[in-house]
Structure 1
Amino acid sequence: MVDASRVRTLTERALDNFDNPGTSVAALVRQAQRIAVLRHDYGAQIRFVYELTDLQGNDKRDIPAITKARNGLAALIGAQEAEREEIRQFMRYQRNREITSKTVLVQSIDQIELHLMQIQRVYDDSVVPSNLTPIDTYFFAKDMDAAQAKLLPQLQQGRDILAKVRQSIHEYLIETESELDAGKTESSFFDQVQMRINDALNKYAPVAAQRFIASQERVSTGGSEDISHALTSCRRMMESLADSLYPANNEVIKGGDGIERSMSEGAYKNRILQFVAESVGKHKDGKVLKATIAEISSKLDALLSLANKGVHDDATLAEAHTCVIQTYLLAGSLLAIADGTSYLMQDEDNTASV
């Protein structure tokens, strides 16, 4: 779940200071990106990362922040729909950067602003010296006018791009404020994909779905006892998910790291990781599989640590919010693996497995 008060504060501050002199467009983009991250608006995150990144000579598929947002999308809505959403966001970015029908300026927004300032400085500093002869003054002024005429299109192009990006950020902030006023703390995009995860939960782990609903209801009250119950519900949800995806047995399985692990009833983390290893291992090489297991293992450890605070410590409402939403997102990732729609379930030829 999202810390609604924090998102609202950031959104209102960004809008209130939007027209302040000296506020760069790059700063506005970074503010919008921060809000998009907090609201789990992966689509907007992708577009804002494009705006802040110099794409000259870079493969946009290898930008870590883009990859992270893309994977977040894929975990929620499947690899193919995530790719379509990324294309939509890139097209929006490209429309703001078009100079001609065949030319797109792909420098970062910081670089564009800096370059524009430099050009403006050169343009403004073009002054005819006062100590020249009339004929020299004539030719100097003529050359200066020609140089300024060459700079004018660059100035106009830069200003147009900054104006388009600036307007798109304002529209995003206004839309966010409107959704917050309507009680939608998560992004509207996230609201749409919740149905997919809920359907998958009901299909693969109906008990887990019930426990997640219980955790949501409890954390919304904000009481210390209810926060504790919400955190416990998160742990139980992961247990139920493990029972559905990889039921307990008496086996002891050696992992890729050479360590033997029990697949017993209480070892639900081991069973979740074994499910990932066996499912993803059919489609990805050892390096990708190892990184995937390490990432999911780290997320599980973090969630279990938070969930256990409900038993041993006094957890805060913010920690409970974090635990609930991150449990939900991790469940979405695991269920996407289960139904074959995860980006991890695509073979090297990018053909999704059936």
Structure 2
Amino acid sequence: MVHQSRSEHVLELAKELLDDIELSRTSAESLILKASRLARWVGSEEIRYWLKLEIQGYNSSNEVSLRYMGITGRWVDREKQKGYWGPLAQHEAAIMSEQAKLHAMRIPDTAGNMAFMTTKTVTNEMTSSASRISKLSGIKSRVLAKLHEFISEIYYEKQFDSLSESIFERYKSDVDNLIGKSCGEVLEQIPSVMSRLAEGNKEAISQSLTTCRRVIDSFADSIFPPSEETIEIGGNQLSLAANRHQNRINAYIHLRIGSKTRKNRFRQNLANLYDRVSTGVHNEVTVEEARALFLNTYLLIGEILHLPSDDA
């Protein structure tokens, strides 16, 4: 049995519901019940309450109920509080009943004094049924349109999330493989950062940033070990000593790409990142910023490891 993630389950359910609506392949009651299941997973409190109204019927004591009476076109006379308060399934059943009644009606073939009155009565009943069908069908159409709007938003949001997750997972797997081959010590430190960030308290955040800095240092040692030599970059002689981690990472980048603009982008990103994870240990950093810094560290390492081995 294939295990589905919550995101996959929501995406599949939303797709089924869109097909149900667009292909008219299920009853109103079944549609609302299934949509309620989706709303319990991802819907807002208001949407969940609205769907409850479509199952149980509307009431005049709730603001949301009164607002959706208008949204779904249920009012006959709002000032007098006259409207179609029943649930969608009830209106759908009434439409079918009126359609059957209308189908069975016909102008009687009569003559004499009663012909005019009989014909007028039947015509009035046909007009009344047609009007009722029109009103109830309008309510149903508005409900389905609102439902389609809600489900579509969920579907395309989850479809994008699924695509994003897929792209990131493939990239992560690739980066993890490169890190494992080139600098295994870095890969061993990543779970520690993730664990600290999950705790979310001030001390844990500080420790996670310290580990991020160590990850960058370990990365520098792995890809460009320290030496007594120097390297010229942009007219400057840079030391490659043990404590010059950024210089050594920049030297690694310098030897692999020719684009000055790209080199500068790498250098600036690395400098900003290293400065923030260093000073953030002693300053106030939110857990959201700490997560962003960790992700930036990971993505930067991945981008550097994807550089060609020869000059571009």
| TM norm structure 1 | 0.42
TM-score by length of 2: 0.48
- Structure showing greater Rg: 2
Greater relative contact order structure (CA < 8 Å, 6+ sep): 1
